[in-house]
Structure 1
Amino acid sequence: MNQSFYIGALGALNQQTKLNVVSNNIANVNTTGFKPQYSVFSDLIYAQARSTQGGNAAKMGSGTRVDLIKSDMTDMPYKETGYENDHAIEGEGFFMLKDPVTGDITYSRDGRFQLSMLEDRFYLVNSSGKRVMNMDQQEISYPVKPAVYPGEEGDIEDEEEDVQEEDGHDPKAIGVYTFARRDGISEIGNNEYTVTDKNGAPILLENATVIKGASEVSGTDFAKEMTRMMEAQRAYSYSLKMVQTSDEIETTINTLRQS
């Protein structure tokens, strides 16, 4: 079968991938701290065609493919929510999260946190139950205060005071981290990201601004995503038309051979 059939089929497949990415961006237009993704295409191998005189003619391409899917990490503005445990990062950086079961570390811009009690402590966690880390990469927690009932004598004081670490960091101050290189940061779902050795060790942003009672808006530009969707739909349609035309040509050639 001629090469145009394969080029058209591959083009349709890759445009479907682009449509899936765009659809996910649109679906998260109101998701706190969401970073939209975009598809990066690259050309496949080219072949040098021969002219009837034996010399080199034009190059023949083999189509394109989605080389990678990247996230747009542009900082977005924040909006006030009024919830005490909501936090937003003004500028670059990520919150560091730790899975209490596996110990895996992930990163996020989504600062919709809440308190989760375990035994005698409250832990600051995200919507998945992963614990938020402080500026010393330690879990942020608070002691559970015993209840005071009417008629009881004496004041109940906090079980522990806010003691600063040797480096002067408040143990309850949320840490904001960045990386020397942000290429290769991969989204794993639920607004969380993982890093590789390529990114290097997390770097604490000492002077990062964390806004309490606020959350970062989604980075999805609805108008831009609709434009990308129409472009992908049109390219998808053209690719399928190429497949159809190639099939019709092959059918005609086979009919002529049999006649």
Structure 2
Amino acid sequence: MNLAMISSSVTMGQLQRKMDTVSHNIANSNTNGFKRRESTFSDLLFQQVNNQTDTRYETGRLTPNGIRVGAGAKIAQTALRLEQGSIQNTDRQLDFAITEPHHFFEVESVEGGQAVTQLTRDGAFYLNEDPNNPNRLTIVNGNGEFLLDGAGNRFSLPMNFTDINLSPTGQIQVTLNDNETTEDIGQVQLIHVLKPHLLEAHGDTSFRIPDLAALGLVEADVTQQVPGGEGKLMQNALEASNVNIGHEMNELLNMQRHYQFNARAISMADEMNGLINGIRR
């Protein structure tokens, strides 16, 4: 009877992890550029109990001989799903949407005086004073991380501009106050992620590349720069989360039912233990 309790209790702990993942997806259903995660299960080790020693009683049996007593189930993996989210028009010039599923913006944050490169799908950008030139502006996201160009540099914009335009290929151009002079600022660099399961979440919608040397990989195995001219960007729009609320709610209900089933199994095992202990000679 203890085996039944062990199997159910182990499975309940893993079901809770799945519910946490689903809840996280639902909580970020309105987060721009958010990518949902999906957990899958696998069986733990089981014990084969051959309790039928007389083969005469096995004649005509369609199932395997004996009984397999398992130890429950576990989360096999929690995969990052990169399906394209819907594109929503915002009529805001600094809103950039990526229209290709496996592509990411490259942004730079500063931690402990060191520049750290991250990847994100959130295309809501803002203007901020350029720390290297107080007379110019730079492009940052909501966390203050700098958008990078094809050379891995931050963008630098003049303060006296009226319009900013992004071409589908990622080229940024600004129109100055005279409404005639234009200035090319640079090209947004998109990164194509070849192995999304290696990405490490780092808050909000940002990801980092892990230590590839420890994994026996090189950068080309995981990411590659998207050539300019492929037309993968859209201005005045944002990519919404790829979370399907209906699907996630269905998953949440299923996990709750499985959790209740395993909890009931523990209760039944406890009741049977009580009956056995109550038997008197």
Q: Same fold (TM over 0.5)?
A: yes
Query: In structure 2, what is the equivalent of residue 190 of structure 1?
Result: 204
Contact residue 100 and residue 131 of structure 1 kept, 8 A? no
- What CA deviation, in whole Å up to 9, does each residue of 1:135-188 have, x standing for no partner? 222222224459xxxxxxxxx99xxx95xxxxxxx7522111013322222322
Cα distance in 2, alignment partners of residues 224 and 113 from structure 1: 30
TM-score (norm 1): 0.83
Structure 1 residue 230 and structure 2 residue 249: aligned?
no
Measure how far apart 1:31 and its partner are: 1.3
Cα distance in 2, alignment partners of residues 50 and 221 from structure 1: 46
Measure how far apart 1:204 and its partner are: 1.1
Cα distance in 2, alignment partners of residues 217 and 184 from structure 1: 23
Structure 1 residue 94 and structure 2 residue 117: aligned?
no
Cα distance in 2, alignment partners of residues 204 and 87 from structure 1: 18
Query: Match of 1:61, as an amino acid?
Result: G
Query: In structure 1, what is the equivalent of residue 121 of structure 2?
Result: 109
Query: Match of 1:67, as an amino acid?
Result: A
Query: Match of 1:187, as an amino acid?
Result: A
Identity %: 24
Contact residue 99 and residue 130 of structure 1 kept, 8 A? yes
Q: How does 1:100-139 map to 2 (within 5 A)?
A: 100-101=110-111, 102-117=114-129, 118=131, 119-139=134-154
Cα distance in 2, alignment partners of residues 84 and 233 from structure 1: 44
| Alpha carbons of structure 1 residues 46 and 214: separation in structure 2 relative to 1, 3 Å | same
Aligned residues: 240
TM-score (norm 2): 0.77
Structure 2: where are the runs of 5+ without partners? 56-64, 162-176
Structure 1 residue 250 and structure 2 residue 273: aligned?
yes
| Alpha carbons of structure 1 residues 79 and 138: separation in structure 2 relative to 1, 3 Å | same
| Alpha carbons of structure 1 residues 121 and 254: separation in structure 2 relative to 1, 3 Å | farther
Contact residue 8 and residue 240 of structure 1 kept, 8 A? yes
Q: How does 1:157-236 map to 2 (within 5 A)?
A: 172-196=186-210, 197=212, 200-201=219-220, 202-206=223-227, 207-236=230-259
Contact residue 107 and residue 194 of structure 1 kept, 8 A? yes
SS at match of 1:120: strand
Query: Match of 2:126, as an amino acid?
Result: Q
Contact residue 187 and residue 194 of structure 1 kept, 8 A? yes
Cα distance in 2, alignment partners of residues 29 and 103 from structure 1: 30
